[in-house]
Amino acid sequence: MQFNLFRQSDIPEKFRPNFKHLYLDIAWFGVVSGTAINFLNVYAARLGASALQIGLLTATSAIVNLFLAIPAGHWISKRHTGRAVFWSSVLFRIGYLLWIPLPWLFNDQGQIWALVILTFVMAIPLTPLGVGFNALFAEAVPERFRARVAGTRNITFAIAYMLTSLIAGYILKNTSFPAGYQIVFAIGAFGAAMSSYHIFHVTPLQEETRAPQSDPIPVSDPDPSPPRGIEAALRADIWKSDFKKVLLALFFFHFAHYLSAPLYSLYYVRSLNLNDEHIGIGTALYYLTVLIASTQLGRIVHRFGNKRVTGFGVASMATYPIMLALSHNVLQFYGLSFVNGFLFALVNGSYANYMLENIPAHDRPAHLAWYTIMFNLAVLSSTLVGPLTADVIGLAPALIAFGAARIVAGFYLLKWG
């Protein structure tokens, strides 16, 4: 299967500018992810952060998103989606710049808590960005091309992530601590700015653009007495529709997925004794298979559908935490990284499209706001439960248990999602 990332001959000309900017947006975000985001938890671990403190780096953002998701959905629904997403991305990504001077301002524990506070503040504009980007993607990409565009975005992300994680690992190995991390954070901040630049140029298609609404259109059969007041503001009617099953299935997926996330960097540093270059190579191998798998994502989804690809992919992702817990050296870490990138690519490229298939085109912001709430509730609870569980039973047993939770979540999605 041949992939031409930016000029695919069978795609109508009017869609190509949007697709190109979506690919470049995610490529630059791959730079952010391969540098600043990839090494943030490792940096915190090297500063002496506890599992709970590393969990808080994610949990604080989730707390903000829980409270702001519904207001963000209302705010997005009354504005041009592209402009709202762009300005939200700018405000959010300014925060990456503020990571750079922290070693000059605080001691080790001061830096850890400063990072927790900064992620909390950055979460305020991140909420409308998260709600709005999925809506923008749906408005900018016709449904028949979504799996293909998602797969190609995975490819561009994987290429950028692989290259920059290797570069970051080399920089960190050959530069004194913490100056190497400041360089890595600066590269991430530049990538964030370029990603926002390309988001600015993604334009909703005329036939897909929804007009801003002050009163959302019901998603189920109209009620002769439509909800008013707080029930209407919260869009509780969504929980009476079939989308409730999707929300619950995705909640369990994200909960199981993030249970082990705060434990990885601790296991890398304290159990496997990996250095930053090892971690950079491992993540590069991971995204090499993301790249390979993403070239086939459109074909796989076409054959099996987004729901089945998501469900079986989630269950299969149990292999990463389980295999990590059974690893004892860097070569085993490289092997599990290589294998599990394939599974991540399938889930990452299909779950959002599975969700979008179940959302009416005229009412995306309200549905995506509720998804954002469930996502962040899952992240918040799992990133607190995960470290606390590991403190009680140990890192390796916790990773194995959380891998089993992914199997349960995957089959729940297939059965009831």
Average pLDDT of every residue of the chain: 83
pLDDT (0 to 100) of residue 226: 44
CA 4: distance to chain centroid? 25
Would residue 252 count as lying in a domain? yes
pLDDT (0 to 100) of residue 9: 63
Q: What is the pLDDT of residues 263-273, one digit of tens each?
A: 888 888 888 88
pLDDT (0 to 100) of residue 100: 93
pLDDT higher than threshold 80 for residue 12: no
Identity of residue 238 = I
Q: What is the pLDDT of residues 55-113, one digit of tens each?
A: 788 778 878 877 887 787 778 777 788 888 889 889 999 999 999 999 999 999 999 99
pLDDT (0 to 100) of residue 316: 92
Per the model's pLDDT, the better-predicted residue between 211 and 391 turns out to be 391
Write the secondary structure of the chain as one string of H (helix), E (strand) and C (coil): CCCCCCCCCCCCHHHHHHHHHHHHHHHHHHHHHHHHHHHHHHHHHHCCCCHHHHHHHHHHHHHHHHHHHHHHHHHHHCCCHHHHHHHHHHHHHHHHHHHCCHHHHCCHHHHHHHHHHHHHHHHHHHHHHHHHHHHHHHHHCCHHHHHHHHHHHHHHHHHHHHHHHHHHHHHHHHCCCCHHHHHHHHHHHHHHHHHHHHHHCCCCCCCCCCCCCCCCCCCCCCCCCCCCHHHHHHCHHHHHCCHHHHHHHHHHHHHHHHHCHHHHHHHHHHHCCCCHHHHHHHHHHHHHHHHHHHCCHHHHHHHHCHHHHHHHHHHHCCHHHHHHHCCCCHHHHHHHHHHHHHHHHHHHHHHHHHHHCCCCHHHHHHHHHHHHHHHHHHHHHHHHHHHHHHHHHCHHHHHHHHHHHHHHHHHHHHHHC
Q: Which two structure tokens, joined as six digits, stand for 94?
A: 């300014």
Q: What is the pLDDT of residues 110-164, one digit of tens each?
A: 999 999 999 889 989 988 888 788 788 888 888 778 777 877 887 788 788 888 9
Would residue 358 count as lying in a domain? yes
Among 120-129, 180-189, 282-291, the least confident range: 282-291
CA distance 154 to 108: 35
Per the model's pLDDT, the better-predicted residue between 235 and 312 turns out to be 312
Q: What is the mean pLDDT of residues 174-187?
A: 92
Would residue 86 count as lying in a domain? yes
Would residue 96 count as lying in a domain? yes
Would residue 391 count as lying in a domain? yes
**Total domains, the chain:** 1
Q: What is the mean pLDDT of residues 295-323?
A: 89
CATH of the domain at 38: 1.20.1250.20
pLDDT (0 to 100) of residue 219: 34
Q: What is the mean pLDDT of residues 164-172?
A: 88
Per the model's pLDDT, the better-predicted residue between 252 and 215 turns out to be 252
Among 175-184, 219-228, 338-347, 402-411, the least confident range: 219-228
Would residue 339 count as lying in a domain? yes
Would residue 62 count as lying in a domain? yes
pLDDT (0 to 100) of residue 227: 47
Would residue 212 count as lying in a domain? no
Range of the domain at 185: 14-207+242-416
How many residues does the structure list for the chain? 417
pLDDT (0 to 100) of residue 157: 85
CA distance 113 to 115: 5
Identity of residue 408 = V
